[in-house]
Amino acid sequence: MTDAPREDTETRRKRLLHRSRYTGMKETDILLGSFAARHLPTFTAVELDQYEALLENYDDPQIYAWAIGRDPVPAHLNTGVMKLLRAYRLPL
């Protein structure tokens, strides 16, 4: 059995940016798309892992509720990436 080739970091960033812009909920598309465009270029591998896990494991309405402060963030998700997301404000 052979392992699939690893995705390079730039390809991963592009994939996550695309995923952020097309979540299925317009409000989340706008928020996460802008956030990702701003922060993904400087994210470390660990931060990319945290962000990708958030996108893959949680529904868009729940991510949005955490991001805008409507719902408290579970302790296991209160990472540096989540703190950045909660502090992020869309540019005017």
Give per-residue pLDDT as tens, 23-61.
989 999 999 999 999 999 999 999 999 999 999 999 999
Q: Which positions ≥6 away from 14 have C-beta within 8 Å?
A: none
Structure token digits, residue 11 = 């390809």
Give the pLDDT score at 3. Answer: 61
**How far is residue 79's CA from residue 15's CA, in Å, rounded to a whole number?**
21
Give the pLDDT score at 4. Answer: 58
Q: Which positions ≥6 away from 39 have C-beta within 8 Å?
A: 47, 81, 84, 88
The average pLDDT across 56-73 equals 96
Give the pLDDT score at 2. Answer: 54
| b/e per residue 29-41 (b: at least 16 CB within 10 A) | bebbbbbbeebbe
Give the pLDDT score at 75. Answer: 97
Q: Hey, what domains does the chain have and what are their CATH numbers?
A: 9-87 (1.10.150.250)
